[in-house]
Amino acid sequence: MKIPKRLQPLVDDGLIDEVVAQLMSGKEAQVYVVRSGGELRCAKVFKEAKQRSFKQAVQYQEGRKVRNSRQGRAMAKKSRYGQKEQEQAWLNAEVDALYRLASAGVRVPRPHGFVDGVLLMEMIHDAEGYAAPRLDDVTLGAEEAREHHTRVIGEVVRMLCAGLVHGDLSEFNVLLDARGPVIIDLPQAVDAAGNNSAAMMLERDVDNMRAYFGRFAPELLETDYAKEIWALYESGELHPESRLTGCFAHDTRLVDVDDLLAVIEDAREEQAEHLAALARSEQDDADER
Ligand SMILES: Nc1ncnc2c1ncn2[C@@H]1O[C@H](COP(=O)(O)OP(=O)(O)O)[C@@H](O)[C@H]1O
Ligand SMILES: [Mg+2]
């Protein structure tokens, strides 16, 4: 295909040999299949829309604050610079997260560098060698859904042990290859220890996965892994091998029905005795009068 402008520098540098195809685009990025280092890889570039909305925000401020055209020109210049900086920081966060998670043993695409604002990474593929489907693209059997759910929860735990919460985990950001789920799209990954929203984001991530897999295995809808994971994390007891129950704050002790009925019977007898005693003393009072 024709080489997209943003990939041209990487082609010129010999990092990309060929641009093969463009994948269905997600929310914020354009992802291309490229031939690089003798294999197919993905090249992720952020979309223009992000720049537009950023520029609009800057323009909105300009309308209120700019006093003269000279200042306006300076701000326009600064905004381009600022936007580039912001985009760079965003992409850096994703590359950092990928390296960190890959070395922590989380299944993410292996990163192959970050050049000129383009993230090069392993292409996750299906059995035929095509880009792997997202969870959203597949229909699962109940058993499969339970297995993948367990695997994803395991990855969430591993990520948290590595200090990160995905922050945008959904059926659109998990791919499925022959070995199971692979987590993608991490520019917004948050620092679990340093971000006040981390617990909330973890809960949203985990609940999204519950809702998705629960479509195929409804009993998963009864689970509550998020609070359990976070409680273990906060008390310093979370490990990649932590045994999770899927229950939290629900009393799971089995009720002994016979025992319970005996307690109720005792209470009833006690009450009857109490009433009888009351009646007797009232009778005594009446007799005295
Ligand atoms: N490493 C990869 N291997 C295969 N497909 C990928 C890979 N990374 C991204 N994709 C595809 O590109 C789409 C967009 O990528 P993503 O990182 O989710 O960006 P965003 O959702 O912000 O646009 C994904 O939904 C997925 O289909
Ligand atoms: Mg995405």
* CB distance 98 to ligand 1 below 6 Å: no
**Do 146 and 227 belong together in one domain?**
yes
The answer to whether position 198 is within a domain reads yes
Q: Are strands 29-36 and 39-46 parallel, antiparallel or unpaired?
A: antiparallel
pLDDT digits (tens, 9 = 90+) for 52-98: 344 333 332 333 344 455 555 555 655 666 666 666 676 788 999 99
Closest residue by Cα to atom 22, ligand 1, is 28
Ligand nearest, relative to CA of residue 170 = 2
pLDDT digits (tens, 9 = 90+) for 105-120: 999 999 998 988 899 9
d(CA 165, CA 156): 7
* CB distance 124 to ligand 1 below 6 Å: yes
**Do 168 and 221 belong together in one domain?**
yes
pLDDT digits (tens, 9 = 90+) for 197-244: 999 999 999 999 999 999 999 999 999 999 999 999 999 999 999 999
Q: Report CA 48 to chain centroid distance, whole Å.
A: 25
Least confident of 134-138, 220-224, 235-239, 285-289: 285-289
**Do 88 and 153 belong together in one domain?**
no
* CB distance 164 to ligand 1 below 6 Å: no
- How many Cα atoms sit within 13 Å of 38 on the Cβ side? 0
* CB distance 248 to ligand 1 below 6 Å: no
Domains in the chain, number: 3
Centre of ligand 2 to C-alpha 59, Å, is 28
The answer to whether position 182 is within a domain reads yes
Domain extent at residue 228? 133-248
* CB distance 185 to ligand 1 below 6 Å: yes
